[in-house]
Each structure stands twice: as structure tokens, then as C-alpha cells.
Amino acid sequence: MKGRDLVPQLRIRGGFRHGDAILFEGLDLVLEAGQWTCLLGPSGVGKSTLLRLVAGLDTGGEFDGSIESTNSRPLREQVSYMAQSDLLLPWLNVRANVMLGSTLRGEVRMLERADQLIGEVGLGMHAEKRPHELSGGMRQRAALARTLMEDKPLLLLDEPFSALDARTRSEMQELAFEVLMDRTVMLVTHDPSEAARIAHRVYLLTETGLHQPDLTGRPPIRAFDDPEALDIQSRLFSALRS
């Protein structure tokens, strides 16, 4: 991807319902270009639904609103989406799973780039293994490498580090932040500490709607023991419990 001008700002406005049940309404969410926006909140309020809407995936409900990008490219061409489950194809090894997108598009096989990312997520010795030979955390790391391989300007991440142990989770946060520098990223998480560490902006989506707490401070990525990150984490916990 060449040029920051290709990186879009995204604005999502409207409401969503399943039948007679309203999941959210009156939403106005802006994803700033080239920044990590974190969507934090309890289960069942529509966080993953928002990601699926932007990705153009089936949601099983009705969206009444708009999703607008600041550049002229079709939205689906700009998006890479990482779901909560790894969605690895069981008959392909790690390397083939990581290169799946480019293979399906008939693009030149980028073996060197794929192997670089596989090594960076700690799977260099496992590139020939199939998903059933990997632990849950290893599968999640392979899925992250596949997402990074897509090299899209807009990334939608649905709890991408949730299956990882604490040390690996911290390492993968740092890797993803470095690789996705200057991309527009929307990260869904249940973890205030993750939001405090990695996000430029945090929105709380709860049963009462969308809220943006004041979290001014130094830009991410913040050290896990940074006093400012710990302060942001504390304020996010308080906001979630209020």
C-alpha cells in the first residue's frame, strides 16, 4: 500500500435491530484515519455486529444507516477482517493459510513476506503444520499473520489476542501495532487494559448507547506498566461499571 492518502477515515451512523429487538440506535462512530479506535463494552451490545457491517458480512438483522469512507474506493476492497475464531482452513498448512487471500485472487505468491510474518508471530518452526496440529493460541497467531498479510488500509479486529497467554498477547499487540502503523484500525475488545495500551481513541458501547470517555495522554503503544496506561485502564473500568 502506497501513500497515506489511501488510508480512509470511516464514519458509521444509524441503528440496528434483530426483528423487534433494537441492538443500538442513534449511533455516530468515527474511525480516524491512520489511528487505532477501540470499541469496548459488554457482550451482546453490537460490537461484533458493527465490524461485520463494515466488512459487508451477514449480520442476521437490519441496519438503518450509513457507512461512509473519505476516499473513493469501494469499502470492501479496503477491508481486512479478523474474527474471534481463527477460521483457518483445516486442509491447508500455516503458510498456505497465511497466503490464502493472495492465492484466491490469483496474485503472485509472496513466500518471503508470508514467512517473515509467520516468523514474527512465533510460528517459524510450524509453517508446514496444519491447524489441528496447533494449540489455540498458535492458531490465533496464524490468523493474525494472515490478516497482516492482506496489507489493507482498513483493519477490523474482533478480539484478535483473546486466546493468547499474557506474554504472547503483549508481544502480538506490539507486533500488530508496528505492522499496522498509519492504518485505520477498529479493535473490539472486552479488556480495558488492552484498550488502555493500544488505542488512540476508545469508545464504550453499552446498553445505553455509545460514549467516548476523555482519555487524553501520550499516543500508543503504551507500556503495560506505564502509569498513564494504568490510569486510563482504571478510568475505563470505572466507566464500564457506572
What pLDDT is attached to residue 6? 79
Q: What span, in angstroms and rounded, lies between the C-alpha atoms of 215 and 196?
A: 9
Q: What span, in angstroms and rounded, lies between the C-alpha atoms of 71 and 85?
A: 30
Q: What span, in angstroms and rounded, lies between the C-alpha atoms of 148 and 90?
A: 20
Which phi and psi angles does 112 have, rounded to 5°?
Answer: -65, -45
40 near 196, Cβ under 8 Å?
no
Q: What share of the chain is helix, strand, coil (3-state, %, to 5)?
A: 40, 25, 40
Would you write out the chain's pLDDT as a tens digit for each of its 242 residues? 444 447 899 999 999 998 888 989 999 999 999 999 999 988 888 899 999 999 988 898 999 999 999 987 888 889 999 988 889 999 999 999 999 988 888 887 789 999 999 998 999 999 999 999 999 889 988 998 999 898 899 999 999 888 788 888 888 888 889 888 889 999 999 899 999 999 999 999 988 889 888 776 778 898 888 888 888 888 888 888 87
- Only one residue has cell 494472515, namely 146
What pLDDT is attached to residue 90? 97
Q: What span, in angstroms and rounded, lies between the C-alpha atoms of 86 and 108?
A: 24
